[in-house]
Amino acid sequence: MKKLNLFFVAILFFAISANAQIITVDNNPNSGAMYDNLQTAIDAANEGDTLFVSGSNTSYGDITINKSLILIGSGYNTDNQYDFSTQINDLYFVNDADPTNPSNSLVIGFIMVGIFPSNNPNIDNITFKRNKIQSIYAGSSPKNNWQFVNNVINNIAIQDNYPNLVFRNNIIIIEQNGQIKAQGGSIIFTNNIIIGNKDAFWYTQYITFQNNIFYYCDLGVSSPYTDYCIFTNNISYGHANSSFSYGTNTATGNIEATDPLFVNTGTYSETYEYIDDYNVQGGSPAIGAGTDGTDIGIYGGLYPFPVGGNATYTTSPMPAIPQIMQMIINNSVVPEDGVIDIHIEGQVND
């Protein structure tokens, strides 16, 4: 039995689309992909191309995107491709390659160390879905309509001039005090779980938080510069400082110091583990309590967190494309000009 690499799956799935160029990248030995270096593949791509990047034990290194592209990795906790994830180090967006521009890019299914937009303006309409992101550091030049959807994120530092920046249905992990650093009148956090036994905020101003669950977080009654934020229909639990009503902030419809009744939070409730199940039990205060009538937390709102990835976990969704899970060659010896008998099994990822 042999598992088939993601780039073969991509070819099978997208072969019907004659108008889009598909580029395959795999740094595993003897892969047969078009490129073994991701940056070389990006440099060779045209605007609008799609790059399928196979999972590997080896990182693809730092990446710079200066044109509109779709990048699809294998996922951050996969159940195929020999369980290899697609890893990169730091991801940079730059707008200095006129006439190309990285606006309208989409990145799905990667583990990445950091995201660093350059100080070039007008890098707009960027979407990240189903990634595991260690850090997001965004500069001060204007960038419009960035979205982070269904990711696992460890650190957020956003300056202003990011109109319509939205974090939807993510798991945000507080690893050190003041994990969420953001300023700006049109930045929204909605239907996230913010988890960790640390101060949640630092220099957090003019941000809207709605339908989130703050789990074991210190909401920062004494934290400086947490001002003029709007907290609506959030749940807090697990820390002595669990009130949203302090200082210049506005708080309405919140449920404070109340257990959301998750199905399973693993060994350590105040940290994130792949095994955690953030669905809520019957009787949870999160059920139907969001501003839109759906559940508070990652399974409500517009983009409920997908289930998938490694078979024993729920919060590790793979990219939403059909993937071949195994390939069995039934005849081990094939004569010249003979026929290979292959049995292929796949699955559709929602």
Cα–Cα distance, 109 to 73 (Å, whole number)? 4
- Residues in the chain, total: 350
Q: Measure the CA–CA gap between 6 and 80, rounded to whole angstroms.
A: 9
Rounded CA gap, 113 and 92, in Å? 11
Residue 183's pLDDT is what?
74
Q: Tell me, what's the pLDDT at 313? A: 79
Burial class of 148 by CB neighbour count within 10 A (0 to 12, 13 to 18, 19+): buried
In whole angstroms, give the CA distance from residue 191 to residue 252: 16
Place of tokens 């210190």: 218
Instruction: Quote the pLDDT of residue 171.
Output: 97
Residues 281, 282, 285, 288, CA torsion sign = positive
Give the residues of the chain that fall short of pLDDT 70: 1-20, 80-81, 97-98, 117-120, 139-142, 159-161, 177-178, 185, 221-225, 322-327, 343-349
Token readout for 142 is 């204007």
> Which residue type, as a one-letter code, is found at position 97?
A
- Sequence ranges of the domains in the chain: 81-324
Residue corresponding to tokens 């892969």: 31
> How far is it, in rounded angstroms, from Cα 41 to Cα 52?
10
pLDDT at 224: 61
Tell me the DSSP string of 71-83.
EE-S-SS-SSGGG
pTM metric for this prediction: 0.89
Q: Could you give the C-alpha distances from 215 to 19, 39, 115, 176, in angstroms and in order?
A: 46, 38, 25, 15
Task: Identify the pLDDT of residue 230.
Answer: 95
Q: Is residue 253 packed enough to be buried (19+ CB in 10 Å), middle (13-18) or exposed (0-12)?
A: middle
pLDDT at 12: 44
Q: What is the pLDDT of residue 17?
A: 46
